[in-house]
Amino acid sequence: MTHTPAKDADKAPRFWRDEALPFIEVRSIADGRKVCYARHSHEHFSIGAITAGQSTYIHENSHLRVGVGTVVLMNPGDVHACNPIDDQPWSYRMFYVDTPWLTDLQHQLGFSQALDFRAFSVTHTTDASLYAGLNRLYEVLVDEHTESLQKHSSAVAFFSELQQRLNPAELPDREVNLKLERAAQYIRDNCTLSLKLEDICEAAQLSASYLIRAFKQHYGMTPHAFLVNRRIQFARAQLRSGKLIADVALEAGFADQAHFQRAFKQHLAATPGQYRG
């Protein structure tokens, strides 16, 4: 089990993870005034609680003001960001949950075994029960004296309640563009390499002008932003395994450590060192 060091705790992001519960990771920010994210997405499901103040919540093409008592939800692949309003203080807790684990839980709750992850149609809620439950789950997970069995049980209980209260409906599939998906898959498969636009175009059999326009419209970010996002996800896994930051920067495909540091902080509002703990 790891935690971010306590020094400068009011400003530094704090991460929690436990080898006994590899399907969930938690971070908390006590002072979010200096926390700014680039638009990004995750492979996992994300859910967070605003514990003080207000912030701007960007979800796909929506821009909302959310405040204390709000729970925000992001399906895998949803482009999002949450940033301070002027210099107003705010704080939050965010949970990152492996999609296969949550999908399995949906199947246990009666969703069709033939379905993959069933996305939530709700992007945020002020449901007091869910807000209180998410904060209780946080306290249980970060308590060093609580046994893993209780932590695991609490996670299952909360995410079961989440499914039952919000009862996610089937979302209409985004229009499938196989050529764009080929482009995205090529980036995923080669994210640690120095990719050229021509290579992506060739893999997708699309012109550069169409690729740039259509990719951003479909995925909510440019191919380059998509590439950087994938590199950061790769780097997170390497950092969790204890690798040196300088080595991870090169393995992830960044030109140098400074570039890696800037990109990592843009995406996670934390330095690689703070994340690794």
Topology of domain 178-276 in CATH is Arc Repressor Mutant, subunit A (1.10.10)
Q: Does domain 2-166 have CATH number 3.40.50.720?
A: no
User: What tokens were used for 236?
Assistant: 């997170």
State the burial class of residue 228 (Cβ atoms within 10 Å of its Cβ: 0-12, 13-18, 19+): buried
Task: Residue 272: name the closest of 77, 255, 252 by CA.
Answer: 252
Alpha carbon distance 149, 21 (integer Å):
9
Residues 71-126 pLDDT 10s = 999 999 998 888 777 888 888 999 999 999 999 999 888 887 878 898 998 999 99
Task: Residue 80: name the closest of 89, 92, 68 by CA.
Answer: 92
Residue keyed to tokens 């638009």? 39
Query: Could you give the residue range(s) of every CATH 2.60.120.10 domain in the chain?
Result: 2-166
User: What phi and psi values does residue 93 have, to the nearest 5 degrees?
Assistant: -130, 135
Residues 187-202 pLDDT 10s = 999 999 989 989 999 9
Residues 239-253 pLDDT 10s = 999 999 999 999 999
Task: Residue 162: name the closest of 215, 200, 120 by CA.
Answer: 120
